Each structure stands twice: as structure tokens, then as C-alpha cells.
Amino acid sequence: MARLGQSMTMRAFLTAQPIPVETLEQVGFLTAVFPAGSWEKSISDLTLQVRDLAPMAAQLTKLSIREISSGSCLDEVVRQRQGLTAASLDFEEGRKAFLERRKPKFLGR
């Protein structure tokens, strides 16, 4: 219900009718829709993109988003996480790689 909303959840359960993919994408239930023939490549590309993120920054960002979503987030904690990320070796590597126009080599530090 958190993703579909109350009215869409009621519609799904009370009518037992399928909800069109376009509607599910519009309400934020789906983050992407891929054509049937390109599903495997699209998933592979997305997986590689996520894999190549700076590990610490990705972990701390996911944690903060979960806390914000649940209402248990403290601004001070998010700022501390931002500080940790900005002071990390991975942040420095990301900036350096950007300037050198190359792919960064993150180490999770």
C-alpha cells in the first residue's frame, strides 16, 4: 500500500482486475519498464551501473532514504553521512576520475 497508495490498493484487491503496466509506472510502483526483447540486457546494464557506484556512498544513501521514508530520519545523522562521504577516498577518486575523463576505481574507503 505504501507504493500503490490506498485507492490503487483497494482497486487491486476489490476488483481483482490487472492494473496496466503504464498505470503501475505512473504511480511509482515500477521504476522502469523494458520491452520484452531487451529485458535481460536492460537488467544487466542497470546491475553494472549500480555495481560501479562508490560502495560507501551508495550504502549510506540507501540507509538515509529508508530512514526518511519511514519517518525515523534525523537531519544531523544525514549530515554526518554526507560528511563521511565527502571526506572519503572514493569521493576524491570520483572527482579525479571525472577530471581525467576515466572510469573511477572505488575501494569503499
Successive 10-residue mean pLDDT values, the chain, 109 residues: 86 91 88 86 91 92 91 90 93 95 92
Query: Within this chain, do residues 83 and 68 fall inside the same structural domain, yes or no?
Result: yes
The number of C-alpha atoms within 13 Å of 16 and in the hemisphere containing its C-beta is 0
Query: Within this chain, do residues 96 and 45 fall inside the same structural domain, yes or no?
Result: yes
Q: Can you give the pLDDT at residue 62?
A: 93
Query: Within this chain, do residues 77 and 43 fall inside the same structural domain, yes or no?
Result: yes
Query: Within this chain, do residues 51 and 24 fall inside the same structural domain, yes or no?
Result: no
Query: Within this chain, do residues 59 and 103 fall inside the same structural domain, yes or no?
Result: yes
Rg (CA), the chain: 19
Query: Within this chain, do residues 5 and 54 fall inside the same structural domain, yes or no?
Result: no
Q: Can you give the pLDDT at residue 95?
A: 95
Give percent of the chain with pLDDT exceeding 90.
54
Domain extent for 6: 1-33
Query: Within this chain, do residues 99 and 50 fall inside the same structural domain, yes or no?
Result: yes
Query: Within this chain, do residues 28 and 58 fall inside the same structural domain, yes or no?
Result: no
Query: Within this chain, do residues 6 and 48 fall inside the same structural domain, yes or no?
Result: no
Tell me how crowded residue 11 is: count the other CB atoms within 10 A of its CB.
15
Query: Within this chain, do residues 59 and 25 fall inside the same structural domain, yes or no?
Result: no
Query: Within this chain, do residues 20 and 63 fall inside the same structural domain, yes or no?
Result: no
Domain tally, the chain: 2
